[in-house]
Amino acid sequence: MEKFLSHRIASCLKTISDRSESLIDNKAWTSSITDMLCQIGKIEFNYTVAHPGHGGWMFDIAWLDYDDFDKRLLSRLVLAVESEWKTDLNNLRIDLNKLLIANAFLSVFIFQSRAKADVAHYLSKFQESINSINPPHQNAILFSAYNFTNKEFEFHFWDGRQFSELVPQ
């Protein structure tokens, strides 16, 4: 299920990047991503969706599965999303750390890079962060790197043990 959901989200992000010319700044990117992922969570999967300003949670976006919504009996955090548009490692790690302590079924980390080589460097640094968590982080993470030079996303899937490249379907 994590791979299916990762492919669906990667496909959504690819759609957004295909029309990136209309996204003039980081706020527009964040808004576009938030709108699309919230729609998918609500409409396609029927989850309660929280994001800043709308039942805001500790993540940019969260899909919540409640046993009883009226009593706020949460059964699981299905999706946790963080996006960071600054490219310095400290800011990236701050947002990644939130995902690493979350017990989400799937986490999504969206960031930007200047070149493919940057992504490889970031992924090696992110693996250091993953390895430093005790107990070890075993849940899936979709790393979504937007290359602002060639204006497209590159996706890498962490399965709880290792990275693999993910190609949107």
pLDDT of residue 153: 94
Q: Please, is 150 exposed, middle or buried when counting C-beta atoms within 10 Å of its C-beta (0-12, 13-18, 19+)?
A: exposed
pLDDT of residue 151: 86
Count of structural domains, the chain: 1
Q: What is the DSSP string of 31-42?
A: HHHHHHHHHIII
pLDDT of residue 143: 98
Residue stretches of the chain with pLDDT short of 50: none
pTM of the full structure: 0.92
pLDDT of residue 51: 84
Contact 6, 157 (CB under 8 A): yes
Supply the mean pLDDT for the chain.
90
Domain extent for 59:
2-166
